[in-house]
Amino acid sequence: MDANLLQVELKKQLEFNIEQEKLKVDVEIISEEILKYIEKRKEITKYILEYRKKVIEDYRDDEDMVIEYFDHEIYVKEEAFRTIDRRLKELTELKSSPYFGRIDFSEEDIGINKMYIGRFGVTPEDVYEPLIVDWRAPIASLFYTGALGEAFYDAPKEKILVNILAKRQYIIKKEKLMGMFDSALDIKDEILQMVLSSNASEKLKDIIMTIQKEQDDLIRQPRTKTIVVDGVAGSGKTTIALHRVAYLLYNYRKILQDKVLILGPNNVFMEYISTVLPSLGESGVKQTTFRDFAFDLLEIDEVMSLKEYMEKVLSGEEEFTEDIRYKNSTQYKDFLDKAVEKLDADYFKIEDLMFMNGLILSREDIMEMFYNYYKTMPLFRRSKKIKRIIYSKIRDVRDEKVRFIQKEYEKTVAALSEEEKSFKVNDLEFNRKLNIREVIKEVIKLKRNLTWLENGNCVDLYNKINGYKTLTENDLGGILYFKIKLEGIKMSEEIKHVVIDEAQDYNLLQFLVIKELTRCSSFTIVGDSNQRIIPYEGILPMHDLKNILPQCNVQEFKLNTSYRSTVEIMEYANKYLSTEPIVPIVRNGETVTEQLIDNVDEVKSYMVQKIADFKTKTYENIAIICKDIKETEKIYKLINDSANVKILNKETAVYHSGVVVIPSYFAKGLEFDAVIMVLDQPSATTDSKHTHYKQEDKLRYVMATRALHELHVVKKRLI
C-alpha cells in the first residue's frame, strides 16, 4: 500500500477512535442527565400528590370547593412537571443517537469552535458550553450551509460572520458509531445516499440528517412570513412543512404552543405523518383535513365521500367536471357575493313594531339600524344585535305600561274612603293583575310575531342557491364562506400558524375561509402544481396568494430537485410532465420496466412473482397503485389468495407497512419502497402525446413518483 494512503487510513482510524471515545462520554453524560430528570420528576410528582391530598382533606365536606379550587403555586408545579417530562422523553430518545453532525468554525475574537448537532440540545447543569446543539437553534443553520468558507447565522440581534472549516456527519445507532464522513462541499454524498436508500418507514424520521441547504432555508424563514413552496414529487415539501413547525415551536414556543394547525389532503396521509412531529419532540399540534376542519364548524349531515368525488373526477363525468371548474373559479366567489348581497337586501321583510296599538319602532327606524348604523356587521349577526335592541325597546314599553297600571291603581285606591276600601280594593287589585297579565300576554304575542327577524340556516340557504345538488368537497369552502359572510363566525381556538399540504388542490374560497376563520397572517403552504388532478381554469390559486391574501407577507419558492426516487424512476416520471423536468439526486437503482400483458392469469403470476422478489430485498412498504377503485378492487381479488395483501379502499383506512393495493388518489403524499403501477393500455391513436389527456398524464406522474427504489409498470390491454 502507498505510504501516503496508509497515512490517510491511519489518520482516519485515529479520528474514528477519538470520536468513539467522545460518544461514550456523551452517552454517559446524557444518562446522568436522564437520572437527574427522573429524580426531579419524582420530587414534583410527590409534591403535587401530597398537595392535592391536602386540598381534598381541607374541603372534604364541600365538593364544589374541590372542583373550583385553583392554586397558582400548584399550576406552576404542574407546568414544570410537563416541561421535565418532555425533556426526559427527548433525552431518552437522544441517548441511542446523540448527534448526527459536527461543524468546526472560527469566529472573530473567539477562536475555533467544534459544535455537535443533534435532534435535541443538551447543556448539562453548571456548564456554559452546550454538549449538543439542537438542529433548530439559529447557529445550527451553519451545518446545513452548502460549502465551507465564509458564512453567517442569525443571532437574536445581528448576523454573526464565521468561517466554516470542516463538517462531519455520523451514523450512530444504539449508542454505537457505525460510520462518519467528512463533507468538504455538500451535505449529500454517502450519508444522503444511505438515508435515501433506506426503507420508507425509516426515512421520514432520519431526515434531519440530510436536510439540504435549499430545504433548510425554507424551514428557517421568518415566523411572520407566509411561504408558498411549489416542489416536485420527492423534493421534501411535507418534510419542510413539518420541520418548519418544529423549528418555529422551538424558537417561538410561548407564542405558538398549542396554536399550530396542519391541514393535510386525507386521513390516510394524516395517519402516515402522525409520528413525525412527536419524533421531533413536538406534541399539541392540531392535525386534520380540510373536510374535518369544515365539519367541525358546519351542521352538515352528508357530503360526497372523497372516494366518490375522486372517482367522478377520474371518470371525467362532463356535468360534474363543469360544476367543479365553476366552483373552483373566481366567478363562483362573485356569485356567492351577489347571493349574500341579495339576502342582505331581501331576506328580512321589515315591518313597523306595534304594541297595543302604539308604535314602538317604525319600519324606517329598523331599516336605519339594518342599513346604516350596523351595516358593517354580517347580516345574521346584525339581525341578532337589532333583535336585542327591539327586545330592549319592548321591555321599556312593557315596564312603562306596568308602571302606568300600578300608578292608576295606587291613585284610585288613594282616592277611596276607608269604607270604600274595604269592599273595592280586592276588585281593583284583581283588575290591576288582569291588566298587567294582558300586557305580558301582548309582549309574548309580539315576540312570537317577530318571525320576520329570525335568522336562516346557512347550509339550507346555500343548498337553495346550489340547486339542492349533492354537496361535495368543493362546496365546503363555499358554505363556510357563506357562513362567514352571514354570521361572522371564527374558530373558538386560537391559531397562530397554519400549514397546508397538497395545496395545489385548494381553491380560492378554501384559502379565504382558512384565513378568515383562523385570523392567521402566517402560513406554510406546500404543494406540487404537477399533481393537480382536480379540474380548474386560469391561474392556480396556490400561485395567486399575493392577491388572495394581500394582508400576508407572501413569498413563493420553487423546488425542482427530487430526493425521493432513483434517477431511473424520475426519468420515467419526467415523460409525463409538460413543464420543466425534475432534477433527480444522483442515486441509481433498478431499471423501470413496462410489461404489456393481455391475459388476466399472466397479470396475477407477474404480480405475485414481483411481490416475492420485493420481499427478498427486505422492502417493507410495497404498493400496487391503480387508477381508480374499480381497478383496485379487481386487482385485490385477483391476487389476494396468492399473496398477503391489504386493500386501501376507504379514507379511514390506516397503512403502516406491508403490501397494499391502493387507488391513485389515496396514494397522494405517500411513498413506498417499491411500486407496481397498473395502467390500461389505450389504443395507438389516443396514446400519442398530442391527444393524451393532460389529467391522465398528471395522474401517472403521481403514481410513478410514489416509488423510492423500484418501479414496475403493468399495461393491460383495454377489453
The Cα 373–Cα 510 span in angstroms is 31
pLDDT score, position 66: 47
**Residue 216 and residue 243 in contact, taking contact as beta carbons nearer than 8 Å:** no
Structural Rg of the chain based on CA atoms:
34
Secondary structure of residue 167 in the 3-state scheme: strand
The Cα 336–Cα 434 span in angstroms is 52
Confidence bin at 713 (pLDDT 50/70/90): very high
Q: What percent of the chain has pLDDT over 70?
A: 90
* pLDDT beyond 90 at 589: no
Confidence bin at 492 (pLDDT 50/70/90): confident
**Residue 607 and residue 676 in contact, taking contact as beta carbons nearer than 8 Å:** yes
The Cα 520–Cα 482 span in angstroms is 19
**Residue 465 and residue 339 in contact, taking contact as beta carbons nearer than 8 Å:** yes
DSSP H helix total and E strand total for the chain: 26, 22
CA 109 from centroid of its chain's CA atoms: 45
Secondary structure of residue 499 in the 3-state scheme: strand
pLDDT score, position 30: 92
State the DSSP string of 91-154.
HHHHHHS--SEEEEEEETTTEEEEEEEESS-B--TT-SS-SBEETTSGGGHHHHSSSSEEEEEE
Q: What percent of the chain has pLDDT over 90?
A: 29
Amino acid identity for residue 170 in this structure? Y
For the ranges 224-238, 646-660, 690-704, the maximum mean pLDDT occurs at: 224-238
pLDDT tens, position by position, 451-475: 888 888 889 999 999 999 999 988 9
* pLDDT beyond 60 at 645: yes
The Cα 589–Cα 580 span in angstroms is 23
Q: At what angle do helices 418-448 and 379-415 cross, to 10 degrees?
A: 170
Confidence bin at 198 (pLDDT 50/70/90): low
pLDDT tens, position by position, 529-543: 988 888 888 899 999
pLDDT score, position 598: 84
pLDDT score, position 55: 65
* pLDDT beyond 80 at 237: yes
Confidence bin at 489 (pLDDT 50/70/90): confident
pLDDT score, position 184: 52
The mean-pLDDT minimum among 316-320, 425-429, 553-557 falls in 425-429
The Cα 496–Cα 506 span in angstroms is 20
pLDDT score, position 454: 85
pLDDT score, position 190: 53
pLDDT score, position 637: 92
Mean pLDDT over each residue of the chain, to the nearest integer: 84
**Residue 627 and residue 664 in contact, taking contact as beta carbons nearer than 8 Å:** yes
Confidence bin at 194 (pLDDT 50/70/90): low
Task: Name which residue leads in pLDDT, 484 or 653.
Answer: 484
Main-chain phi, psi angles of 286, to 5 degrees: -75, 125
190-196: long-range pairs with CB below 8 Å, 24+: 192/563, 192/585, 193/587, 196/563, 196/564, 196/585, 196/587, 196/708
Nearest in space to 626 (alpha carbons), one of 638, 618, 616: 638
**Residue 492 DSSP symbol:** S
The Cα 680–Cα 686 span in angstroms is 12
Indicate left, alpha or beta for 221 from its phi (over 0: left) and psi (-120 to 50: alpha): beta
The Cα 466–Cα 208 span in angstroms is 47
pLDDT score, position 690: 38
**Residue 409 and residue 428 in contact, taking contact as beta carbons nearer than 8 Å:** yes
* pLDDT beyond 70 at 187: no
pLDDT average, residue stretch 637-646: 88
Scanning the structure block, which residue is given the C-alpha cell 362546496?
A: 475
The Cα 583–Cα 232 span in angstroms is 9
The mean-pLDDT minimum among 35-39, 415-419, 649-653, 686-690 falls in 686-690
Q: How many CB atoms lie within 10 A of CB 223?
A: 14
Give CA separation, 505 vs 214, 231, 418, 578, in Å.
Answer: 24, 14, 88, 19
pLDDT tens, position by position, 514-528: 999 999 999 999 999
Secondary structure of residue 476 in the 3-state scheme: helix
* pLDDT beyond 60 at 125: yes
Edge-to-edge order in the sheet of strand 593-597: 593-597, 707-717, 672-681, 621-626, 658-663, 645-647
pTM: 0.81
pLDDT score, position 703: 92
pLDDT score, position 209: 65
pLDDT score, position 618: 85
* pLDDT beyond 80 at 590: yes
pLDDT tens, position by position, 340-358: 999 888 888 888 888 888 8
**Residue 102 and residue 116 in contact, taking contact as beta carbons nearer than 8 Å:** yes
Secondary structure of residue 678 in the 3-state scheme: strand
pLDDT score, position 57: 65
Main-chain phi, psi angles of 510, to 5 degrees: -60, -45
pLDDT score, position 131: 92
Secondary structure of residue 214 in the 3-state scheme: helix
**Residue 252 and residue 136 in contact, taking contact as beta carbons nearer than 8 Å:** no
**Residue 703 and residue 677 in contact, taking contact as beta carbons nearer than 8 Å:** yes
**Residue 226 and residue 522 in contact, taking contact as beta carbons nearer than 8 Å:** yes
pLDDT average, residue stretch 484-507: 91
pLDDT tens, position by position, 661-690: 999 988 887 889 999 999 986 544 334 343
> Which residues are bridge partners to 138 per DSSP?
none
* pLDDT beyond 90 at 445: no
> Which residues are bridge partners to 287 per DSSP?
262
In which element (H, E) is residue 220 found?
Answer: none
Amino acid identity for residue 69 in this structure? Y
Give CA separation, 232 vs 116, 542, 558, in Å.
Answer: 32, 14, 8
